């Protein structure tokens, strides 16, 4: 049975992705265009929805479009990219841990500023707000 190709507008409506995003993903090679209509509209096979769902989930987990392209390229060669996905997820965990530490450091600095000295006996004309201008 021959599957029917989906026009880009139909893909956008059914997937919830804007047409512009679908075009961009196609230009990057994340989505495969299976042809064009006589009017020049891109056509996609039904697997476009699986790929869009994969892209959305991978982005939600913090993977970049370059990471996702690498994974889809492995898949397109007929292999499962699970080992590479695991590597990417480990890298993402490390990045999240680094961000958490940076946020904790920022929180501590904010708390120090709030509870620190907030006035200067004689503010100079160069003092806008002593709370923010005090040095750590």
Answer yes or no: is pLDDT of 2 > 60.
Answer: no
What is the average pLDDT across 8-34? 96
Residue 121 has pLDDT above 70, yes or no: no
Q: For residue 48, which of 2, 84, 12 has the smallest C-alpha distance?
A: 12
pLDDT given for residue 134 in this prediction: 72
Buried/exposed 47-78: b ≥16 CB within 10 Å, e otherwise: ebeebbebbeebeeeebeeebbbbbbebeeee
pLDDT confidence of residue 128 = 82
Look over the chain and give the mean of its residue pLDDT values, rounded to a whole number: 91
pLDDT (tens digit per residue) in 46-73: 899 999 999 999 999 999 999 999 999 9
């Amino acid at each position: 049975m021959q599957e029917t190709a989906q026009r880009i507008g139909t893909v956008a409506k059914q997937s919830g992705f804007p047409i512009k995003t679908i075009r961009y993903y196609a230009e990057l090679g994340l989505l495969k265009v299976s042809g064009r209509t006589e009017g020049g509209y891109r056509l996609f096979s039904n697997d476009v929805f699986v790929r869009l769902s994969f892209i959305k989930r991978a982005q939600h987990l913090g993977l970049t479009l370059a990471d996702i392209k690498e994974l889809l390229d492995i898949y397109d060669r007929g292999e499962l990219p699970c080992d590479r996905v695991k590597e990417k997820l480990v890298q993402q965990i490390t990045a999240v841990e680094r961000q958490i530490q940076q946020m904790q450091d920022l929180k501590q600095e904010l708390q120090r500023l709030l509870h620190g000295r907030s006035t200067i006996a004689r503010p100079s004309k160069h003092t806008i707000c002593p709370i923010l201008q005090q040095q750590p």
